[in-house]
């Protein structure tokens, strides 16, 4: 079954952000590369967690004309101490980028991109380090500041397509980057708590603010793209995390360079 995760929310945000005439060719991973890293709470008897999860993500470029779908595999480890925590991991992904817009591409090839459907793949590293405090009863941890990073490399036919456009003629209503190495960095805050009666159930909410500095000035613009609305790689990621015994689920929504949504299902080894 063909699964489409591109949401109405993405489209509405994009329409308010950029001109409806322009098409933006971006890497697929921004917005999906900063996944949640499960960590033990201070009160837990086991302070180190190793986790594995699978994710399904989807989203769109800033103009909402190029859609992305991807599957991801994530492996991570985390250590919790009395007042600070660290986490790190690896992830790999593969997916498809598609432009289904027919906006005058045949009649005006110098202005618009033709339809395309191209695959891509990539791999990356995740790192997180932060400070936290704990409630008096130990049932809640406040991870009030965390320094988070993701570095990933992306390649495949879609990346080659972006490079070809970037190094050749850029259509008048197109903006494109040839970047394949993406670094995303920023700060997050998180609250995690366990049930009063059932300590095997945990909930968490996380807010990340940051961006991908290497992408800010990495675009070439067609002559008819308004430079007053240059792409910004800054934005936010919001997570909801649910842990039941050793199984967990993470729901994620992001607006960084791209708009994206992701669901992850995983298992922790204690």
Please report, for the chain, the start and end positions of each structural domain, with discontinuous segments joined by +: 8-269
Backbone angles phi, psi at 226, to 5 degrees: -70, 120
Integer distance in angstroms from the first to the last C-alpha of the chain? 35
pLDDT reported for residue 226: 66
Alpha helices in the chain (DSSP H): 8-17, 157-167
pLDDT reported for residue 42: 97
Architecture of domain 8-269: Beta Barrel (2.40)
Tell me which DSSP letter residue 9 carries.
H
| Short-list 83, 60, 84, CA closest to 70 | 60
pLDDT reported for residue 104: 66
CB crowding 51-65: b at 16 or more within 10 Å, else e: bebebbbbbbbbbbb
pLDDT reported for residue 227: 58
pLDDT reported for residue 160: 97
The pLDDT confidence band at residue 3, using thresholds 50, 70 and 90, is very low
87-112 per-position pLDDT tens digit: 999 999 999 999 977 666 666 678 88
| Cα-trace Rg, the chain | 20
Average model confidence (pLDDT) across the chain: 89
24-70 per-position pLDDT tens digit: 999 999 999 999 999 999 999 999 999 999 999 999 998 888 999 99
pLDDT reported for residue 14: 41
| Distance separating alpha carbons of residues 118 and 169, to the nearest angstrom | 20
| Distance separating alpha carbons of residues 131 and 82, to the nearest angstrom | 9
Q: Which residue has the tokens 């390649």?
A: 155
138-155 per-position pLDDT tens digit: 999 999 999 999 999 999
pLDDT reported for residue 12: 37
């Amino acid at each position: 079954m063909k699964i489409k995760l591109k949401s109405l929310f993405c489209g509405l945000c994009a329409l308010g952000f950029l001109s409806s005439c322009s098409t933006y060719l971006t890497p697929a991973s921004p917005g999906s590369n900063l996944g949640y890293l499960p960590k033990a709470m201070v009160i837990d008897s086991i302070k180190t967690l190793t986790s594995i999860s699978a994710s399904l993500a989807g989203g769109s470029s800033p103009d909402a004309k190029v859609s992305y779908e991807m599957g991801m595999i994530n492996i991570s480890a985390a250590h919790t101490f009395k007042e600070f925590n660290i986490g790190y991991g690896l992830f790999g992904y593969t997916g498809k980028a598609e432009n289904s817009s027919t906006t005058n591409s045949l009649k005006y090839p110098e202005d618009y991109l033709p339809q395309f459907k191209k695959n891509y793949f990539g791999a990356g590293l995740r790192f997180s380090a932060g400070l936290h405090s704990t409630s008096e009863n130990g049932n809640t941890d406040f991870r009030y500041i965390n320094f988070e990073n993701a570095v990933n490399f992306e390649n495949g036919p879609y990346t080659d397509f972006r490079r070809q456009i970037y190094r050749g003629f850029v259509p008048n209503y197109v903006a494109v980057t040839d970047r394949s190495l993406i670094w995303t960095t920023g700060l997050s805050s998180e609250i995690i708590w366990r049930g009063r009666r059932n300590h095997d159930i945990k909930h968490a909410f996380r807010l990340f603010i940051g961006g991908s500095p290497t992408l800010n000035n990495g675009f070439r613009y067609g002559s008819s793209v308004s430079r007053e609305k240059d792409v910004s790689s800054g934005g936010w990621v919001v997570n909801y995390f649910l842990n039941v015994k050793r199984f967990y689920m993470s729901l994620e929504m992001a607006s960084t360079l791209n708009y994206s949504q992701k669901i992850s299902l995983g298992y922790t080894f204690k």
